[in-house]
Chain A
C-alpha cells in the first residue's frame, strides 16, 4: 500500500515538474546576448569560459528557468576584433532585442562595447578582461566579473611577499598593451611598498618565440617573477625561462590560461619546482565540492573532464551572476531595468571566490579576493596555498597610463 502511495506521489511530482518545465518553455524567454572570441587568437581562453557559462544556464533552464522563464542566449563571435564586436553588439540589440551583453573578449574590445552599452541602455558585463571603466567611479552600463590588471597588479605584490618574505628583486613580465602597462605599473608600486626592488619586461603581444624573453629573465636573476600574461603566453614564458636556466619562483596571474597547458609546459621544460598561480576564482584542481559539481554540469554540455580548467569556473560564476541579475530584475526585464538591478546586486559565489560579487552604483567591479596555488610535483596538481587575500576595487596607487 505504502509502495503504491510512493509511486503515485512520485508520478504526481514528476507531472507537476514536467508541467512546470513545459509552462516555462512556452513563456516568452529572457533573451541575452553573448559576444566572445570563438575563432580568433584567444579561442582557447574564451571557449571554455562560454562552456562554463552555458553549463550554468543549461542547469538553470533544466530546473525550470528563472521566474518561470527559460534563458535564451544569442551567441556571436567577435574574433577578437573590436570593430566586429561593436557591430555585433549593435545587431544583437537592434535585431535580437537582447537586454544585456555578456562575456566579451579581451580588453581591446571593451571600450567600444561599453560606449555602445551606454548609448543603447543595455548593460555589458565582461567575464575575463576588465578595464578601468568598471572601477570606481564606474561608467554606467559597464560591469565586469573579470580580473582588472590594475587590481591584480596591486594584489600580486601582497601575495608575493607572503610567499617569499626574503624580498629581493621582483620582475614583472607582461605584454606591451594598456592592460599590461597598468598591471606592471601597479605591481611595481605595490612591490616597492612591501620592500621589493623592481624590474619589468614588456614584450610585443604578437611574439611567439620566447627564447630571448626567457634568457632575459635568467640574466636578470630576480628573487621572484610575477607575470600578467593572457592565455597561452604565460605557459610559453614559463617554458622559456626554465629552458634558459631560471629556477627561481614564478607567480603567474591566472589571466584565463588552462592549468593543463601550464603543467605540460613544465613537463616540456623538465622542471616542476617553484611555480605558483594566483587567481580571482578557484582553479579546477581545487578540492572544493562546488568545483566537482561544476565538473559534472560541464560533462552534461559535452566538456570532457580532462579539459576542465579555471576558465570554466570563471564562466560558471559569470553565468551565476546573469541568472541572479535576471531573477531580481523580474519580467519583463529591459536593459535599463537590468542595469538598475546590476548596480546594487550582490551574488554569493558559493566558495568559488573569497566572497560575493558585489556591485554598487559607482563600483561595477566590487571587492575581489585572490588565492595562490602552488604546483605540487608529486600529485602534478596545483594546491591552494593559504587563504583568500582581499583586494579593493578602489586603487591604492596612481600609475601613469600608456598612451
Chain B
C-alpha cells in the first residue's frame, strides 16, 4: 500500500470560522474599496471612468514582487513601487488625459480602455505574464476573539481600511482635498478662484494610482498575482457604480456589498454563481437609482 503512513483527513479543523470569515470579507472588501476610492477620485475631478484601475494595481503588484524576488527588502520595494506608481500616474495624465479635457465622456472612457490594453501588454512583456507569489510581510497567526487568524490576512484587512481612511481624510480635511472638492463642484469657478486644475487633477490620478498600487500589493499578500488578477478592477468598478461614481461613502459601502455578496454565494450557495451576485446587485440598484446609492443624480450621463 503506497504512502500508508501519510496522515489523512483534516488535521486541524477551522477555529472560530465566523471571525475568520469576517477577516476575509473585510480584507477583500478593503482592497475593493481602496481601488474604488481611486476610481471615484479620478471621476470626481476629471469625469473619467477609469477602467484601468485593476491593471494599474496588478502591474504594481508584479513590480513589487519582482523587487522582492530580486532581494530588496520590502521597506525599499514598497516605496519604490509607490514612486513608480506616481510617475506612471503623471505620465498617464500628461500624455493622455490632459489632452482630452473637454471631450465627450466616452473619449476618456476609451482612453482608459487603451491604457488598460497597453498595461496588460507591459505585464506580459516585462514580467512574462506568469503567476507569482510574494513573500508575506508577516508569518504565523494571531489569536483574536478565540480564533486563530492568519497574521497576513489581519494585516491586509487593517492596512486596506486604514489607507481608505487616509484617502477620504485627504479629501475632507486637507487643503488639497478642498481644491479637489472645489474642482468637483464647479471646475470653472475653481479655476477662476485660483485653483491650479492641472495640478489638482494630476494629483487625483497620482493618489488613485497609489491606491491601486497599495491594493495590488495587499492583494498579492493574500492571493497569487497573475494577469487574470486584473479582474479585481472590475469588482472595484462595480463597487463604485453601486455606491455612486462620485461618492467615497458609496465606494466603501459598494465594496462591502460586492465582497459580502460574492462571499455569501460562494460559501452558502452554488459557488458557480458567485461572480453573478455583485453584478445582479448592481443591476438592481442601478435600475432603481441610476446614480448609485450615494451618487449625485445630476452627475449621471449616458456614455
**Most A C-beta atoms less than 10 A away, residue of B8, B132, B219:** B8
Number of B residues, CB within 8 Å of A: 58
Tell me the residues in window 179-232 of chain A with beta carbons closer than 8 Å to chain B beta carbons. Answer: 201-204, 206-213, 215-216, 218-219, 221-224, 231-232
Q: Which of B3, B12, B21, B133 contacts A247 (CB 8 A)?
A: B12
Question: Is B129 an interface residue, CB under 8 A from the partner?
Answer: yes
> How far does the alpha carbon of A213 sit from the alpha carbon of B7 in the complex, in Å?
23
Query: Closest approach, in angstroms, between the C-beta of A63 and any C-beta of chain B?
Result: 29
> How far does the alpha carbon of A223 sit from the alpha carbon of B135 in the complex, in Å?
29
Closest chain A residue, CB of each to CB of B58 = A208
> Which residues of B have CB within 8 Å of A261?
130-133, 224
Question: Is A236 an interface residue, CB under 8 A from the partner?
Answer: yes
Query: Closest approach, in angstroms, between the C-beta of B68 and any C-beta of chain A?
Result: 11
Q: Which of A166, A168, A176, A218 contacts B14 (CB 8 A)?
A: A218
* A168 and B226 form a contact (CB under 8 A): no
* A248 and B275 form a contact (CB under 8 A): no
* B224 and A236 form a contact (CB under 8 A): yes
* A223 and B275 form a contact (CB under 8 A): no
> How far does the alpha carbon of A168 sit from the alpha carbon of B8 in the complex, in Å?
9
Q: Which of A41, A163, A224 contacts B228 (CB 8 A)?
A: A41
Query: Closest approach, in angstroms, between the C-beta of B216 and any C-beta of chain A?
Result: 12
Tell me the residues in window 113-148 of chain B with beta carbons closer than 8 Å to chain A beta carbons. Answer: 121, 124, 128-136, 139-140, 148
> Which residues of B have CB within 8 Å of A235?
131, 133, 224
Query: Closest approach, in angstroms, between the C-beta of A79 and any C-beta of chain B?
Result: 10
* B13 and A245 form a contact (CB under 8 A): yes
> How far does the alpha carbon of A299 sit from the alpha carbon of B133 in the complex, in Å?
24
> Which residues of A have CB within 8 Å of B152?
243, 268
Given A211-B24, A215-B20, A248-B11, A267:B135 Cβ within 8 A: yes
Q: Which of B4, B11, B131, B222 contacts A243 (CB 8 A)?
A: B222
> How far does the alpha carbon of A244 sit from the alpha carbon of B148 in the complex, in Å?
10
Q: A-facing mask of B17-48, CB < 8 A → 1, else 0?
A: 10011001101100000000000000000000
Query: Closest approach, in angstroms, between the C-beta of A164 and any C-beta of chain B?
Result: 4
Given A44-B226, A213-B266, A268-B133, A243:B150 Cβ within 8 A: yes
> Which residues of B have CB within 8 Å of A224?
8-9
> How far does the alpha carbon of A212 sit from the alpha carbon of B262 in the complex, in Å?
8
Query: Closest approach, in angstroms, between the C-beta of A195 and any C-beta of chain B?
Result: 13
**Most A C-beta atoms less than 10 A away, residue of B2, B135, B227:** B2
Question: Is B73 an interface residue, CB under 8 A from the partner?
Answer: no
Query: Closest approach, in angstroms, between the C-beta of B73 and any C-beta of chain A?
Result: 17
> How far does the alpha carbon of A261 sit from the alpha carbon of B224 in the complex, in Å?
9
* B133 and A264 form a contact (CB under 8 A): yes
Question: Is A137 an interface residue, CB under 8 A from the partner?
Answer: no
> How far does the alpha carbon of A215 sit from the alpha carbon of B274 in the complex, in Å?
14
Q: Which of A162, A208, A215 contacts B17 (CB 8 A)?
A: A215
Query: Closest approach, in angstroms, between the C-beta of B295 and any C-beta of chain A?
Result: 25
> Which residues of B have CB within 8 Å of A210?
223
Number of A residues, CB within 8 Å of B: 59
* A41 and B227 form a contact (CB under 8 A): yes
Tell me the residues in window 233-271 of chain A with beta carbons closer than 8 Å to chain B beta carbons. Answer: 235-236, 239-240, 243-249, 257-258, 261, 264-265, 267-268, 270
> Which residues of B have CB within 8 Å of A209?
28, 219, 223, 232, 235, 262
> Which residues of A have CB within 8 Å of B235?
209
> Which residues of A have CB within 8 Å of B273?
204
Given A216-B267, A245-B20, A162:B3 Cβ within 8 A: yes
* B128 and A47 form a contact (CB under 8 A): yes
Q: A-facing mask of B157-191, CB < 8 A → 1, else 0?
A: 00000000000000000000000000000000000
* B14 and A208 form a contact (CB under 8 A): no
**Most A C-beta atoms less than 10 A away, residue of B4, B133, B148:** B133
Q: Which of B11, B224, B267 contacts A265 (CB 8 A)?
A: B224
> How far does the alpha carbon of A264 sit from the alpha carbon of B226 in the complex, in Å?
14
Given A164-B6, A261-B131, A247:B28 Cβ within 8 A: no
Question: Is A165 an interface residue, CB under 8 A from the partner?
Answer: yes
Question: Is A386 an interface residue, CB under 8 A from the partner?
Answer: yes
Q: Which of B8, B14, B228 contacts A164 (CB 8 A)?
A: B8
Tell me the residues in window 29-79 of chain A with beta carbons closer than 8 Å to chain B beta carbons. Answer: 39, 41, 43-44, 47
> Which residues of A have CB within 8 Å of B130?
43-44, 258, 261
Given A249-B8, A267-B133, A386:B148 Cβ within 8 A: no
Question: Is A374 an interface residue, CB under 8 A from the partner?
Answer: yes
Question: Is A385 an interface residue, CB under 8 A from the partner?
Answer: yes
> Which residues of A have CB within 8 Å of B227?
41, 43
Question: Is A28 an interface residue, CB under 8 A from the partner?
Answer: no
> How far does the alpha carbon of A213 sit from the alpha carbon of B274 in the complex, in Å?
10
Question: Is B51 an interface residue, CB under 8 A from the partner?
Answer: no
> How far does the alpha carbon of A240 sit from the alpha carbon of B224 in the complex, in Å?
10
> Which residues of B have CB within 8 Å of A208?
223, 226, 228-229, 231-232
A-B contact pairs, 25 of them (CB 8 A): A168-B8, A176-B271, A204-B272, A207-B274, A208-B232, A211-B25, A211-B223, A211-B263, A212-B267, A223-B9, A224-B9, A236-B224, A240-B223, A245-B15, A245-B20, A245-B148, A249-B7, A261-B132, A264-B133, A267-B135, A268-B135, A273-B11, A274-B7, A372-B2, A385-B3
Q: A206-B231, A208-B232 are in contact. List 4 more A-B contacts (CB 8 A).
A: A206-B275, A232-B226, A245-B15, A264-B133
Rank and list the top 5 A-B pairs by shortest CB-CB distance, nearest first.
A232-B131, A212-B266, A386-B2, A43-B129, A247-B11
